[in-house]
Amino acid sequence: MNRMIEKELSPRQKKSLETRKRIFDATYQLVNQYGDAYTVQDVCHLASVSVGSFYHFYKSKEEVTSDLYLFFDTHMEKELLIMPEEPVARLKSITREMMRYSLEWGLPFLRLSCAQTSGEKEINLVHERSVSFQELVLTLKSGIEQGVFDCPRGEEYYARFLITIFRGTLHWWTVQHGNFDGMKRMEQYTEDFMKIITK
């Protein structure tokens, strides 16, 4: 379960989260089907929620996409349970899944999400309190302890380095209208990164 919501939720909190998820899923579907040519009313109809409920959580239809970070975290935490424990394989698996899951959302939705993220959600999906970042830190630390990695500036520095590579690749993929293989590019960059830190 998402570390951000792993505490026992009250029935009201669970209902709020479920409503947000319905709104998010409806927005995702409409953005990828119609681009920007949809309304808040369209979202509410598809999500089976009232307009009042929508505006309780979001200021605009575009703002909904900023919640991608929340559901990204939930997905990554589940995937981490089935990833290999060996540090090199685990690091590669984490970055591969981060990119694969991101690209799965589709170009229109990702473009809108990138444009809407700011503040503590900057720049989309992965921040220092995210599941992905924390797991990269732990994996690098494990690799250092096992004598596999050499990270003279500390594991957090190199985790930020890898996250910067991920963010840059994903952002460039959206700017370039998805005209290159984002997954392959991320895998190449990860291999280059591994050469820097692997003993």
Predicted confidence (pLDDT) per residue in 71-83, tens digit: 888 889 999 999 9
Predicted confidence (pLDDT) per residue in 170-198, tens digit: 989 988 999 999 999 999 999 999 999 99
Please return the burial class of 133, using the count of CB atoms within 10 Å of its CB with bins 0-12, 13-18 and 19+: buried
Contact between 136 and 69 (Cβ < 8 Å)? no
pTM: 0.80
Contact between 51 and 40 (Cβ < 8 Å)? yes
Multiple choice CATH, 3-64, 1.10.3720.10, 3.40.50.10860, 1.10.287.130, 1.10.10.60: 1.10.10.60
Q: Which residues contact 33 (CB under 8 A, 6 or more apart)?
A: none
